[in-house]
Structure 1
């Protein structure tokens, strides 16, 4: 019984030491190209522009997600106008500057090493500041 508890505790401690994104990935960050920024805006427009009442949208740097497939990822985050404690985030994967898919509330988008930039193009889609 003691061995089981010790083993479980050690796993918990080790899990707490893991980072969300490997350091090499965090260091490979580059600002998102305008073509990618425009793709996200176009997707929002194609879906009726209904993205909620948010403020301060931001887009993250692009990082290498999977070297074998040359898949990259970036995040978009914005704070809801009424509840600004924590932003809503979407993780987006891409290859050859084309968006492959997205994950709502992607945990990797909360990595503190990820750089974010203002994303005013998204405010323009919504139609007001």
Structure 2
């Protein structure tokens, strides 16, 4: 759990201020594929978040962030059972189906135009 917290704090420190997503990016919204969901759960396991228990978990639509570089982005928000009052939100960049960047509390994830989906794979994640 300490590794998970350290990763989140590091990503927050590196994220900086980011503007909301432009309309053209949000127009490319597609529901997250099973491969995207699986990649995120695998990343969570890799940082040893196995002990986490999620009360709620949602994943956003996948949007085309950079057409030239073929970079896509999505957000995840969740509430851990043991930490009732804190909603964790993170933004993630994908290239070739792999997560290549992450930022905690990414401002683009707060965009009201972004669609959210239930993420039962994360809620049921066990060692």
- Do both proteins adopt the same fold according to a TM-score greater than 0.5, normalized to the shorter chain? yes
Structure 1 SS opposite 2:89: strand
State the aligned residue count.
107
The whole-number CA distance in structure 1 between the counterparts of 2:90 and 2:126 is 17
| TM score, norm. by length of structure 2 | 0.75
Q: Which residue of 2 aligns with 1:46?
A: 46
Cα contact 1:49–1:125 (8 A) shared by 2: no
Counterpart position of 2:99: 99
Provide the C-alpha distance between the structure 2 equivalents of 1:34 and 1:99, rounded to a whole number of angstroms.
Answer: 14
The answer on whether the counterparts of 1:54 and 1:80 sit within 8 Å (CA) in structure 2 is yes
Check conservation: 1:49, 1:126, Cα contact below 8 A. no
1:83 is matched with which residue? Answer: 85
5+ long unaligned stretches in structure 1: 1-18
Could you say which structure has the larger radius of gyration? 1
In terms of fraction of residues, the more helix-rich structure is 1
SS of residue paired to 1:117 = strand
Answer yes or no: is the 8 Å Cα contact 2:25–2:65 preserved in 1: yes
**CA-CA distance at 1:52 after TM superposition:** 4.3
Q: CA deviation at 1:126?
A: 4.7
Aligned residue in 2 for 1:119: 119
Distance 2:89 2:126 in 1: 17
1:54 deviates by: 3.6
Q: Over aligned residue pairs, what C-alpha RMSD do you find?
A: 1.9
Question: Unaligned 5+ residue runs, structure 2?
Answer: 1-18
User: 1: CA distance between counterparts of 2:50 and 2:85?
Assistant: 18
1 or 2 for the larger relative contact order (CA 8 Å, sep ≥6)?
2
Change (3 A) 1:118 1:94: same
Q: How many angstroms does 1:95 deviate by? A: 1.1
